[in-house]
């Protein structure tokens, strides 16, 4: 993800082994599934009607994150980004 | 009991003298002992007003002890202890003194029972904070410290003007509910607003905090904004403007945090976002929302300090803090990494961590008040917090790419301080009742309902899913070596433009005055007074020539007189002699006649 790779040590080994990463992702997806299932089971006290929509919080979290990142990257960044020495000139 | 106590804050401020004189282990012991002593002193004070001083027919109250001031007093002392522990190895008299004054002034401001005492401590905080920023002694930190000082001097003057008008209007210096309305209330409101880092008035914070010393940022993250939260909770609860100000504060900084490269600046934006939740709570003004604000300030101070400590440790050990320069440090600094993740989980409000039990109070208060838009904005901001503080900070520093940096783990005092803060974050998250017991209003709020836990976990983990998918698919925005403009571009560039304008206008005026007055005028005067009588005659003759015409005989006369002047040959002497002789004869005749 980094555009400017920096000096990597003498014997670069992957930070996290692919097997560990796969296992972690599997656990993560399992937790996500369990959370969606748990919503049907749990009794919830809601204030706003939309809180009762199935998966409202999950969908909101996902969409909000994507929206935030894309707006920051494609709207804000082109407007405000300057090189590091901008104020030193 | 009270006979043995001194005004809260005073111990911390007076502790500067031994802290400056002592060295080595003695100083270290003193720095740890002082917050504990000061806390015991504070807890010894019963509720009510103490240490009353007469002042111009008014009464100053150095210690107003009630539930609101005590809960802030407790957390300020806890964080002063943790920050002093973190800074235990800092052998810098300048920094140690500034830190103690800053912490003491914050405690003093929280216990001030009148507006004048508040103002004095308020300004003392500005001084302490400025020196903590400048103590890094780099060109950038000196400049940032100066800008911080200028902003806070202006806001301090605004506050002072408001206080003077308020005292004039109401006839009292009492520091209590004010509410918006009069000019004085607006001036005070804005004075407090600058320290709360309101939108457009916030620029000093992400400008100055990342430039402060490694340990200074820990103090800074706790005191200035939270003192402002305290004073606003006391003076402007239920002010609707604060709801919208707060909602804006929760949302706009997270966009900047996403694209910011300096990880301590990311935390600074995140700080504004968190104070936004507190502002909303004050604006709603119900018992639940004010409890939410206070409990969120309490947990926020701990997890924000923890995050600043972990990034400070990274900066201390590697000398680097940009996301593009660090990464993959989890093997070198496993403890720091663990504590950072605890702080990240707390600020993201994961169940079982401190942010969860406090932020949910503000969210629920907004929902109960049917503030739909504000509620949605805060929910959006909650997902945003996960991005910049929950994921970006630990991910960029400790995982992400391998920067190739292999460093030592942070020194023991730093680890102990981070460990203590992390333990408190988890402790409050798991067992929030002691914190709830300290809040201004009694509460039976239950954060751990199944529905609430599941909703929050869904919100955060599905946001994390978005992160994971974007990362795996390569669509996540990269970290870039760059800076981002903020409102301070106006003050910085405005400052430069003002400098240029002043340079061109005032310096041009100066040069013109120098030419005209110092050179031409003085030269003319000197020439004139070299032969004043001659010059005077010349002027007279010239004036005469205007009337009678510039004849040949006139020009001859002028040159003759000029020549006489130059050689001192003026016929004036003969006339004077005649007059003297005549007067002498007359005198003799009068006397002897």
Same domain, B193 and B73: yes
Contact indicator for A28, A42 with CB cutoff of 8 Å:
no
Same domain, B30 and B103: yes
Q: Tell me how close the Cα of B112 comes to any Cα of chain A, in angstroms.
A: 39
Buried b (16+ CB within 10 A) or exposed e, B493-518: eeeeeeeeeeeeeeeeeeeeeeeeee
**Residue whose structure tokens are 């007076």:** B14
**Domain stop point among B189, B220, B236:** B236
Residue B481 has its nearest CB partner, among A4, A45, A51, at: A4
Residue B152 maps to a domain: yes
**Domain stop point among B454, B473, B492:** B473
pLDDT per residue as tens digits for the range B25-55: 999 999 999 999 999 999 999 999 999 998 8
Same domain, B301 and B448: yes
Q: Range with the lowest mean pLDDT among A75-89, B20-34, B415-429? A: A75-89
Q: What is the mean pLDDT of residues B464-485?
A: 90
Same domain, B168 and B254: no
Same domain, B274 and B224: no
Same domain, B205 and B69: yes
Judged by CB atoms closer than 8 Å, whether chains meet at B458 and A73 is answered as: no
Please check the confidence at residue B380 and state whether its pLDDT lies above 80. yes
Percentage of chain B modeled with pLDDT above 70: 98
Residue B328 has its nearest CB partner, among A15, A59, A65, at: A15
β-partners of residue B174 are B114
- Exposed, middle or buried by CB within 10 Å (0-12, 13-18, 19+), for B522? exposed
Please check the confidence at residue A45 and state whether its pLDDT lies above 90. no
Flag whether residue B407 sits within 8 Å of chain A, measured between CB atoms. Answer: no
Residue B387 maps to a domain: yes
Same domain, B56 and B182: yes
Q: What is the mean pLDDT of residues B266-280?
A: 97
Residue A46: band (very low, low, confident or very high) from pLDDT cuts 50, 70, 90: confident
- pLDDT at A5 (0 to 100): 42
Same domain, B269 and B395: yes
The mean pLDDT value of chain A amounts to 82
CA B102 to chain CA centroid, nearest Å: 12
Residue B158: band (very low, low, confident or very high) from pLDDT cuts 50, 70, 90: very high
Angle value at C-alpha B564, between B559 and B566, nearest 5 degrees: 95
Residue B539 maps to a domain: no
List of residues 6+ apart from B476 with CB closer than 8 A: A1, A69, B467, B470
Residue B123 maps to a domain: yes
Q: How many domains does chain B have?
A: 3
Residue B135 maps to a domain: yes
Q: How far apart are the first and last CA of chain A?
A: 30
Same domain, B246 and B169: no
Flag whether residue B466 sits within 8 Å of chain A, measured between CB atoms. Answer: yes
**Strand pairing report for B483-484 and B48-55:** unpaired
B567 lies in which domain range? 545-593
Residues of A in contact with B471 (CB under 8 A): 1
Q: Can you tell me the distance from the alpha carbon of B334 to that of B52, in angstroms, rounded to the nearest whole number?
A: 51
Judged by CB atoms closer than 8 Å, whether chains meet at B368 and A28 is answered as: no
Q: Range with the lowest mean pLDDT among A11-20, B83-92, B323-332? A: A11-20
- pLDDT at B568 (0 to 100): 66
Q: What is the mean pLDDT of residues B182-199?
A: 96
Q: Count of residues for chain B?
A: 593
Q: Which of B138, B288, B458, B474 to mutate to test the interface with A (most CBs of A within 10 A)?
A: B458
* Residue with the larger pLDDT of the pair B351 and B574: B351
- ipTM score assigned to the predicted complex: 0.85
- pLDDT at B462 (0 to 100): 96
Judged by CB atoms closer than 8 Å, whether chains meet at A69 and B476 is answered as: yes
Taking the CA of residue B398 as centre, how many other CA atoms within 13 Å lie in the half-sphere pointing to its CB? 23
Please check the confidence at residue B213 and state whether its pLDDT lies above 70. yes
Q: Can you tell me the distance from the alpha carbon of B170 to that of B162, in angstroms, rounded to the nearest whole number?
A: 12
Residue B512 maps to a domain: no
* Residue with the larger pLDDT of the pair B327 and B562: B327
Residue B530 maps to a domain: no
Percentage of chain B modeled with pLDDT above 90: 77
Same domain, B585 and B561: yes
- pLDDT at A1 (0 to 100): 39
Residue B340 maps to a domain: yes
Please check the confidence at residue B24 and state whether its pLDDT lies above 60. yes
Residue B225: band (very low, low, confident or very high) from pLDDT cuts 50, 70, 90: very high
- pLDDT at B571 (0 to 100): 63
* Residue with the larger pLDDT of the pair B576 and B272: B272
Please check the confidence at residue B523 and state whether its pLDDT lies above 80. yes
- pLDDT at B278 (0 to 100): 97
Judged by CB atoms closer than 8 Å, whether chains meet at B400 and A47 is answered as: no
Backbone angle region of B378, left / alpha / beta, with phi > 0 → left and psi within -120 to 50 → alpha: alpha
- pLDDT at B309 (0 to 100): 97
Please check the confidence at residue B9 and state whether its pLDDT lies above 80. yes
* Nearest residue in chain B measured CA to CA from A73: B477
- pLDDT at B1 (0 to 100): 47
Please check the confidence at residue B182 and state whether its pLDDT lies above 80. yes
Same domain, B265 and B179: no
**Domain stop point among B189, B214, B236:** B236
Please check the confidence at residue B443 and state whether its pLDDT lies above 80. yes
Judged by CB atoms closer than 8 Å, whether chains meet at B330 and A15 is answered as: yes
Same domain, B17 and B94: yes
């Amino acid at each position: 993800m980094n555009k400017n790779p920096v000096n990597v040590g003498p014997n670069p080994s992957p930070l996290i082994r692919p097997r560990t990463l796969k296992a972690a992702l599997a656990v993560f997806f399992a937790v996500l599934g369990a959370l969606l299932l748990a919503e049907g089971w749990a009794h919830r006290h809601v204030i706003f009607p939309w809180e009762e929509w199935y998966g409202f919080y999950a969908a909101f979290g996902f969409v909000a994150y994507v929206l935030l990142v894309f707006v920051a990257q494609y709207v804000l960044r082109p407007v405000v980004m300057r090189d590091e020495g901008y104020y030193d000139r | 009991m009270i006979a043995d106590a001194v005004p809260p804050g005073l111990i911390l401020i007076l502790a500067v003298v031994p802290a400056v004189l002592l060295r080595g282990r003695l100083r270290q012991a003193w720095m740890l002992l002082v917050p504990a002593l000061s806390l015991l002193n504070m807890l010894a004070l019963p509720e009510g007003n103490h240490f009353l001083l007469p002042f111009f027919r008014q009464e100053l109250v150095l210690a107003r002890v009630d539930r609101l001031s005590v809960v802030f007093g407790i957390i300020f002392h806890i964080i002063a202890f943790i920050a002093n522990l973190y800074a235990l190895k800092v052998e810098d008299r300048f920094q140690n003194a500034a830190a103690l004054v800053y912490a003491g002034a914050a405690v003093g401001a929280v216990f001030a029972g009148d507006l004048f005492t508040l103002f004095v401590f308020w300004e003392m905080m500005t001084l302490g904070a400025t020196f903590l920023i400048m103590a890094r002694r780099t060109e950038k930190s000196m400049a940032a410290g100066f800008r911080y000082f200028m902003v806070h001097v202006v806001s301090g003057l605004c506050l002072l003007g408001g206080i003077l008008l308020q005292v004039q209007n109401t006839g009292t210096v009492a520091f209590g509910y004010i509410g918006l309305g009069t000019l004085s209330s607006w001036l005070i409101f804005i004075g407090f607003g600058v320290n709360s880092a309101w939108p457009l008035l916030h620029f000093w914070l992400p400008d100055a905090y990342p430039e402060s010393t490694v340990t200074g940022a820990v103090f800074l993250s706790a005191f200035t904004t939270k003192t402002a939260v305290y004073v606003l909770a006391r003076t402007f609860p239920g002010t609707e403007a604060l709801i919208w100000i707060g909602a804006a504060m929760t949302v706009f900084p997270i966009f900047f945090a996403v694209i910011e490269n300096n990880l301590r600046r990311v935390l600074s934006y995140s700080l504004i976002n968190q104070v936004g939740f507190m502002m909303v709570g004050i604006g709603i003004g119900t018992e639940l929302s004010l409890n939410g604000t206070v409990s969120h300030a309490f947990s926020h101070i701990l997890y924000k300090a923890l995050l600043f400590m972990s990034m400070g440790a990274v900066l201390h050990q590697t000398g680097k803090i940009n996301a593009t320069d660090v990464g993959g440090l989890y093997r070198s600094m496993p403890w720091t990494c663990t504590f950072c993740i605890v702080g990240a989980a707390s600020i993201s409000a994961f169940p079982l961590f401190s942010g969860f039990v406090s932020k949910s109070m503000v969210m629920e208060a907004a929902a109960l008040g049917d503030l739909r838009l504000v509620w949605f904005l805060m929910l959006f901001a909650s997902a945003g917090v996960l991005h910049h503080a929950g994921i970006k900070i630990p991910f960029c520093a400790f995982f992400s790419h391998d920067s190739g940096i292999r460093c030592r783990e942070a020194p023991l005092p730093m680890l102990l301080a981070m460990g203590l803060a992390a333990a408190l974050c988890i402790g409050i998250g798991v067992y929030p009742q002691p914190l709830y017991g300290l809040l201004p209003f009694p509460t039976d709020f239950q954060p751990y309902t199944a529905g609430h836990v599941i909703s929050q976990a869904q919100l955060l983990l599905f946001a994390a899913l978005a992160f994971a998918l974007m990362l795996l698919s390569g669509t996540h925005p990269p970290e870039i070596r760059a800076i981002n403009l903020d409102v301070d571009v106006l003050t910085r560039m405005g400052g430069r433009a003002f400098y240029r304008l002043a340079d061109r206008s005032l310096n041009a005026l100066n040069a013109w005055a120098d030419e005209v007055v110092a050179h031409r005028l003085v030269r003319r005067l000197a020439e004139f007074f070299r032969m004043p009588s001659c010059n005077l005659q010349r002027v007279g003759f010239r004036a005469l020539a205007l009337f009678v015409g510039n004849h040949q005989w006139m020009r001859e006369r002028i040159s003759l007189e000029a020549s006489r002047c130059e050689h001192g040959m003026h016929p004036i002497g003969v006339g004077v002699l005649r007059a003297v002789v005549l007067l002498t004869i007359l005198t003799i005749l009068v006397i002897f006649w």
